[in-house]
Structure 1
Amino acid sequence: APNAAAERTIDGSTPGVPAKITQPPSLPKEFAFTFSMPYGQGDEFPREPEEFDRMLGLLKSAGYNTVHCPYTDWRHELFKKHKMKIMVDVLAWKPPVEADIRDPAQRDKVKQMCLKVKGSDAIWGYNLWNERLDWCGGFELLDAWIRMLRTWDPNHPVWVGTYRYLYCEHFPTNPGVHGWYDYHWARGMAWHFKMLDFYRGIAEKRQGSMGRWLLIHDYNRNLYTLNTSIAHGLKTVLWFIGGPYGPREPDKTKRWDENSHLVRIGRHMAPLYELIGEMGLPTDVYSTPTSRAPDNKDKTTGLPADTTAFPKDHWLTIKQGEVICGFFTLPDKSEV
């Protein structure tokens, strides 16, 4: 029914869940290059194990290591087979999934799943929110859902995202991954570095990491955004929405697009995922001046907005070209 969502009971009752969690959250162990379809309602992924298996093989060949989708036991086994990870959709309330953490009638299914997989390397973690946070039904409820997930599975992160910076700290419990979307190529390039700087501070303060949705554009714009984001400490990207595999295509032989620019980007980036995960947040991020605007027209040479110039006495000197560089220290004290 059109009003079925409104008729469901949504609450934050938390029997057996502490009212406060002070321990640092779990964080992603490697960079997540994530395939996603429409979420938070039903299941748009293949329900046939053979086709889901084929999909994972194709995505893995294209550099994807994570898929945002509803959980099933047989899918979990296929993710293990392909050495990939599930970012679990915990808001999918429609049949046949019916695993929405917001709904007390469906919550135990989410809990039992968390308890079952909390030691699994095939689980990325839990995707809890992606839209404006003031649409979640109440910040006390949101915090309760974070505490539920972190109590049932303390070993994997929780993703909480919002539009730009809206209400991004209106919940006390640290989820692990602070996500956002700004779609800067379409809605204003000034948001790009402004949000990267902002969430770098949020992640440091809240002992978390950064993740973002990226609108699918083209090779140049997407790779530019991806690399400049990684230089600022980004650890998770979700592509909005879909990509080289199209599950809505009735003809299964036509579902894969080998020519998608995301295939090219994923294969280019995949060898670095483990290293990027180890890098943590940068100690510094510096930029050279640039001479072209986002629309590829000449501009007055100068620093991009919300970036910091290389110090004159810095050990790294850029002799030619235009560069943004993030500086990281690995756990063994070596530098990237």
Structure 2
Amino acid sequence: MIFKRKQEAPGLAPAVTELEGAVAARDGGRTERAFTAVISGVQSAPDDARVAAGPRLAALLPAFPPTGPRPMLAKAAGFCVERGADPVACAGPILDGVRQDLLDALEFARRWTATGAAGEELPEPDEKIIDDALLSRLGGDPHEATRLALAWCSVEEWQPPALAVLCRSAEVRRLHAAALLPACRELTALDRHDLKCLAYALAVLDDEPVIVLHRPTKTGFEIRIGGIGDNFQLHTLLAHVLIGAGHVPGTPPSAESVRLATDPEPARGRSGAVATGAFELLTPDGTRIWNEGLPDDIPVVAGRRLLVLDTPSYPRTWTADRFFPHLPGTATLTRVLPPDEAHTWFTHTSPDSPS
């Protein structure tokens, strides 16, 4: 949850109306006062007021300067989504802001590296680093340099509102994720920001067919997956679909593990349930796909994602709680492949087991 404490505040709807008027009038002092009232009002309002306010707050985001309180306004809109506001209606402005901050943070890193000594590390994302010397080092227009520096320091603040919309709508992910994921991964690779949750949410596959080959039995299946946050959840659902239905041998996952992976109701805290590994997940060339990874790690071969299952090389257990509490996963067996089709897919794989 983005906001945890409730404070006394005026009604939310009048506060939002006042903020809209202040922004339209370009009145800085009035906008500041209205903004403070909105942030307080979002925390104390009933959910029906938050439902109505969410899209209105999101729509105001483009009018706020990047060097101002835009991330906090995005958090307010995201909190309204958490409490029932339409994620599709709120997503565009929120994720546009995410994209701009990701790109600005990457440009900050590029300029820092270009003007520094070889091997010099990038700074920690803390606004204390922003001073005249830093802005001079970044070069260009001072306002632009300030924007880049603030993006470097504040990009993580966009993660909660982004997750609020991404984890509540497959349509939002379909419309926006592909444009954001490369920049998110590039920034994450610089190892200065914790954007793992955002990267995972952007990489979620929806309504994705996967060819799954079970090496011990030389059988093949087409399984359609969606909403799966990581490969722990995928592993459980594959075992449920294949072992639980008697298509391959093994011990099926517990009913509780399956429920935790698929329940449309959001998870409430930690369950304490344990899942047990049934397979080794492999790429077609025999490289292990780690449970800590993503279904998006499954490579595309001949136009389809191709996953190989083998006998586990060692026992594995993990907590059965899903990575995204608000995102239920699905895995549906759509076809058992005829033997000749399964054989054709096996020709794309390595015959060797992983080391």
**How high is the TM-score relative to the length of structure 1?**
0.28
Compare CA radii of gyration and give the structure with the larger one: 2
- Of Structure 1 and Structure 2, which has the larger fraction of its residues in strand? 1
- Of Structure 1 and Structure 2, which has the larger fraction of its residues in helix? 2
Q: Which has the higher contact order (CA 8 A, sep 6+)?
A: 1
